[in-house]
Amino acid sequence: MIRAMARLRVRPGCESAVESAWRTAAGQLSRLAGSLRRELLLDANDPRSFVVVTEWADESALHDYENGPVAARFAEAIRPLRETSGAENYRVMRNPDGRGSKIFVDIELTVPADRLAEFERGYAEVAARMAEVPGYLREDLLREPGSDVHHIFAEWRGEAEFYRWIGNPAHAQEEAGPIAPFLLDIRRRLFHDVAHPESRRGPSTGKEIDVHTTTDVLIVGAGPTGLTAAVELARRGIECRVIEKQATPPAQADKAIGIHCRTMEIWADQGIVRDAMDGGIWLTGNMVFVNGVQTHRMSWELPELPYAHLGLPQYETERILTERLATLGVRPQRGAELIAFTEGDDGVLATVATGGGEETVRAKYLVGCDGAHSRVRELLGLTFSGGLGRFPQLFMLGDVDVDWDMPEGHLLRFMHETDGRMDGMLVCVPLRGESRYRIATLAPPRFFAETGGKDAPPGFSEELAEPTLADIQAAIDHLAPAGTRASNLRWSSVFRISHGIVDRYGAGRVFVAGDAAHLHPPAGGQGMNTGIQDAWNLAWKLALAVRGIAAPGLLDSYETERRPEGEEIVGRAVRMAFTDELDRNDLKRQFLQEMSMLLSYSDSPLVGESLSAPDALRAGPGPGDRAPDVGGLQRRGVGHPLRLHDLTRGTRHTLLVYADGSADEGTLAAVGKLCADVRRQTSGQIDVYLLLSPDARAPWLLDPPVVRDAGGEFRAAYGVAGTALYLVRPDGHVGFRSQPIDADALSKNLQLVFGGVR
Ligand SMILES: Cc1cc2nc3c(=O)[nH]c(=O)nc-3n(C[C@H](O)[C@H](O)[C@H](O)COP(=O)(O)OP(=O)(O)OC[C@H]3O[C@@H](n4cnc5c(N)ncnc54)[C@H](O)[C@@H]3O)c2cc1C
């Protein structure tokens, strides 16, 4: 902890003006990263002498304050009120040896005995490299007696320095590289020094005695939504904990298969798209048959899409996400079920049942990714808008081989209609493996009889018997081409579809995402993809909130942006479930919509633009739209063209400033200042690039880096001319754009995300 004190003596009669200036400054100070305490003290022996006391988490927080606009504005406000210049009365005090905000980090890893020598060689090198890292103090390498489990127990001067290091992906190579193979599956825990109570951060609930563990974000559920949220938080160095009530991961191809193009882009950003492609198959098109006649066929291999439609069983998706999460030091705690939680002003206290009894977890935020029967949703008292819809029918699923001669990789939909009403439906989704399909169709009537006419609960039925190969063959005989045979049934189940969307996506510090927030029929394969996209939208906002640098309304925008999307998707999936409702006039548009490529947050209050002419930037993505990738960029020193997503990928905002040959020298020189301003305003959570057309002269600038739009692809896709800028959010959507550069409007937009001026 660092304390700064400034003594000032004011002119007679100016006392209340100083107090008023201080109140304004204190409000702004409280929003600065690393600001622990601020007070204005009055000298007991001199009613005209004040002492301004501020306390800071670390050197960089103090440095940012001293050099930032809040300090400058306060100094300016009190300059005419004070008697002396006062500069000589400014003192900074640090805790001896940096204690106070010190933290301890325990990395638990397994080193097999036969690789111990290899590990020790690498570790010696890592220890030497770590000594150079700012904020790192020391560490011990410990081994649990009689086991391969090791602990690297490190001391850091402060939490902020540790997170700065871990939040920079380069650390994995630059410092940890020599022992990287041993860090694929680790557990990371962070401890505060309890001898210094002022260093303890986090919510105070008055029930300290019960608290077993604390974390920044508690995620309930290790399905695709929860795992995505965890990966995104952990990538940003935010401590999170994932609890999952199932003791073992799923291993059957029973749920989602189709992976949308937009999800693939997200996975490219997360570094798992190659694993997904390696484990999946391409879904190359679809065919629809009504009463045995093919009514349409479409190829899904569109050249304009960055990725085709991938087929990957959900258990594989969960495996890949879990492995990615492990590389970030987080492992879901299995066999741990959320029972209850209470919410206070500064955090959430959750009760978790584990094999060893009940545990209490304190977190700053809680995210319920706990699926269709969400306990979080129930505890929050959220209700389904218009009630939870239920289809009366029971459905069955099976994983079988089919011997027909249908085109490879095609999703097949066979429907039967009587008097224009659909009364039979068979959907066959190709799986990896020769002739292997996941079949979905109506369950035979005997299953209805088995329920005794009672309303079967939504989801997979545990009570009803598993459908047999004969049941599946009967559906195929009824709907598929004559003579088709199914064989080799690996798995089957009966399920019931329900649909709906919750009225709110959260309350206070608790949010719901994925199936906990919206339920849909599997038609169109939307559920899992939508859940992943919920988490993708929420996590970057939560990370800023945990760091204390989010604007007050930022977390509310999760619901504002995601709920309309959920509503639209639920409605569409319900319409598609029992009709052959396809927009035949524009199948391509419908497919792009299903792949979430048209998803836009254009109605969000977070996004905006400033245009000098109504048709400026018309050809480019609008505010809230997905920022598309383009190629043909050149960066000095790089021997191959770059893509735009090489610049925007990662966990932060990206500001793309564009200029062509018509930009004057003064405008280009001002980009350096713009760059410094936005870095300050966003607490460094932004990357800035100057994109120049081939004919533009490169200004002499240390920052931002210059990239050439050598092929003119950026200009064409983003519709830029003269000077312009695009702000791309961490989720890959346009947050703001302007033509020409409008620094004031940009700053106002950034305030909606990062809050007041720093
Ligand atoms: C037959 C079928 C086919 C489908 N096909 C597709 C498709 O092709 N494409 C698509 O996008 N979607 C599809 N879906 C939907 C998709 O499976 C879901 O939308 C997806 O699983 C939602 O992910 P989630 O992480 O939100 O929830 P889930 O996957 O349900 O995960 C929730 C997790 O939370 C855990 N949990 C629950 N309560 C607690 C608690 N109290 N404490 C701790 N843990 C808890 C659960 O055990 C579970 O692991 C399909 C669904 C079905 C049933």
Pocket residue to mutate for ligand 1, from 370, 399, 510, 526, most atoms within 8 A of Cβ = 370
Distances (CA, A) of 680 to 555, 673, 700, 752: 21, 11, 21, 15
Give 722's DSSP letter.
Answer: S
Q: Is 103-201 CATH 3.30.70.100?
A: yes
Tokens coding 30? 């409280």
Does the Cβ of 430 fall within 6 Å of ligand 1?
A: no
Q: Do residues 21 and 10 touch, judged by C-beta distance below 8 A?
A: no
pLDDT tens digit sequence for 90-102: 777 776 544 446 7
Q: Do residues 184 and 322 touch, judged by C-beta distance below 8 A?
A: no
175, 60, 57: which is closest to 107 by C-alpha?
175
For the chain, which ranges sit under pLDDT 50?
88, 97-100, 195-210
Q: What is the pLDDT of residue 182?
A: 87
Q: Which CATH number fits domain 240-282+298-322+329-386+501-594: 1.10.3720.10, 3.20.20.70, 3.40.50.300, 3.50.50.60?
A: 3.50.50.60
Q: Which residues contact 210 (CB under 8 A, 6 or more apart)?
A: 349, 360
Gap from CA of 380 to ligand 1 centroid (Å): 19
Residue 483 gets the label, from left (phi > 0), alpha (psi -120 to 50) or beta, of: left
Q: Do residues 654 and 728 touch, judged by C-beta distance below 8 A?
A: yes
* DSSP strand pairing (734-739 vs 723-728): antiparallel
Tokens coding 717? 């896709």
> What are the start and end residues of each CATH 3.40.30.10 domain in the chain?
608-754
Gap from CA of 491 to ligand 1 centroid (Å): 18
Helix (H, G, I), strand (E, B) or coil at 703: coil
CATH number attached to the domain at 608-754 = 3.40.30.10
Q: What is the pLDDT of residue 207?
A: 32
Tokens coding 731? 């989720």
Does the Cβ of 467 fall within 6 Å of ligand 1?
A: no
Gap from CA of 224 to ligand 1 centroid (Å): 7
Sign (positive/negative) of CA torsion 274, 280, 286, 288?
Answer: negative
Gap from CA of 533 to ligand 1 centroid (Å): 14
Does the Cβ of 370 fall within 6 Å of ligand 1?
A: yes
* DSSP strand pairing (686-692 vs 653-659): parallel
Give the residue carrying structure tokens 């690498």: 122
Q: What is the pTM of this model?
A: 0.75
How far, rounded to the nearest angstrom, does the alpha carbon of residue 160 sit from its chain's CA centroid?
21
Q: Do residues 80 and 13 touch, judged by C-beta distance below 8 A?
A: no
CA distance 743 to 758: 16
Number of residues that make up the chain: 758
Give 175's DSSP letter.
Answer: T
Give the number of other CB atoms < 10 A from CB of residue 523. Answer: 20
H helical segments located in 441-492: 445-450, 469-479
How far, rounded to the nearest angstrom, does the alpha carbon of residue 316 sit from its chain's CA centroid?
20
Q: Which ligand 1 atom lies nearest to the CA of residue 370?
A: 34
Residue 578 exposed, middle or buried by CB count within 10 Å (0-12, 13-18, 19+): middle
Q: What is the pLDDT of residue 46?
A: 79
Which residue lies with its CA nearest to atom 37 of ligand 1?
Answer: 370
Does the Cβ of 431 fall within 6 Å of ligand 1?
A: no
Question: For residues 634-647, b (16+ Cβ closer than 10 Å) or e, as one string?
Answer: bbeeeeeebebbeb
Q: Which residues contact 144 (CB under 8 A, 6 or more apart)?
A: 150, 151
Q: Which residues contact 662 (CB under 8 A, 6 or more apart)?
A: 721, 722
Sign (positive/negative) of CA torsion 492, 494, 500, 502?
Answer: negative
Pocket residue to mutate for ligand 1, from 461, 528, 533, 565, most atoms within 8 A of Cβ = 528
Gap from CA of 526 to ligand 1 centroid (Å): 11
Gap from CA of 315 to ligand 1 centroid (Å): 10
| Cα dihedral 366, 369, 372, 375 in deg (nearest 10) | -20
Q: Which residues pair with 150 in a beta bridge?
A: 109, 143
Q: Which residues contact 462 (CB under 8 A, 6 or more apart)?
A: none
pLDDT tens digit sequence for 226-268: 999 999 999 999 999 999 999 998 877 678 999 999 999 999 9
Which residue lies with its CA nearest to atom 6 of ligand 1?
Answer: 256
Does the Cβ of 256 fall within 6 Å of ligand 1?
A: yes
* DSSP strand pairing (90-94 vs 2-9): antiparallel
CA distance 460 to 570: 19
Q: Do residues 294 and 481 touch, judged by C-beta distance below 8 A?
A: no
> What are the start and end residues of each CATH 3.50.50.60 domain in the chain?
240-282+298-322+329-386+501-594
CA distance 550 to 157: 24
Q: Do residues 495 and 438 touch, judged by C-beta distance below 8 A?
A: no
Backbone Cα Rg of the chain:
29
Does the Cβ of 224 fall within 6 Å of ligand 1?
A: yes
Residue 271 gets the label, from left (phi > 0), alpha (psi -120 to 50) or beta, of: left
Does the Cβ of 494 fall within 6 Å of ligand 1?
A: no
Gap from CA of 457 to ligand 1 centroid (Å): 15
Give the number of other CB atoms < 10 A from CB of residue 727. Answer: 27
Pocket residue to mutate for ligand 1, from 255, 286, 526, most atoms within 8 A of Cβ = 255
> What are the start and end residues of each CATH 3.30.70.2450 domain in the chain?
395-497
Residue 723: its H or E element: strand 723-728
Tokens coding 612? 């000098």
At residue 633, what are phi and psi to the nearest 5 degrees? -90, 145
> What are the start and end residues of each CATH 3.30.70.100 domain in the chain?
2-94, 103-201
Q: Which residues pair with 337 in a beta bridge?
A: 353
The DSSP secondary structure of 538-581, one letter per residue, reads HHHHHHHHHHT-S-TTTTHHHHHHHHHHHHHHHHHHHHHHTS--
Give the number of other CB atoms < 10 A from CB of residue 663. Answer: 22
Helix, strand, coil % over all residues of the chain, rounded to 5: 35, 30, 35
Give the residue carrying structure tokens 């990062």: 754
CA distance 78 to 17: 8
CATH number attached to the domain at 395-497 = 3.30.70.2450
676, 640, 670, 659: which is closest to 758 by C-alpha?
676
Q: Do residues 397 and 431 touch, judged by C-beta distance below 8 A?
A: no
Q: Which residues pair with 738 in a beta bridge?
A: 610, 725
Pocket residue to mutate for ligand 1, from 300, 314, 438, most atoms within 8 A of Cβ = 314
Give 455's DSSP letter.
Answer: -
CATH number attached to the domain at 2-94 = 3.30.70.100
Q: Which residues contact 579 (CB under 8 A, 6 or more apart)?
A: 422
Does the Cβ of 332 fall within 6 Å of ligand 1?
A: no
CA distance 109 to 129: 19
* DSSP strand pairing (706-708 vs 686-692): parallel
Give 79's DSSP letter.
Answer: G
Residue 656 gets the label, from left (phi > 0), alpha (psi -120 to 50) or beta, of: beta
Q: What is the pLDDT of residue 395?
A: 86
CA distance 549 to 124: 37
At 474, the amino acid letter reads A
Which residue lies with its CA nearest to atom 41 of ligand 1?
Answer: 338
Does the Cβ of 520 fall within 6 Å of ligand 1?
A: no
Does the Cβ of 108 fall within 6 Å of ligand 1?
A: no
Gap from CA of 540 to ligand 1 centroid (Å): 22
Does the Cβ of 535 fall within 6 Å of ligand 1?
A: no
Which residue lies with its CA nearest to atom 38 of ligand 1?
Answer: 370
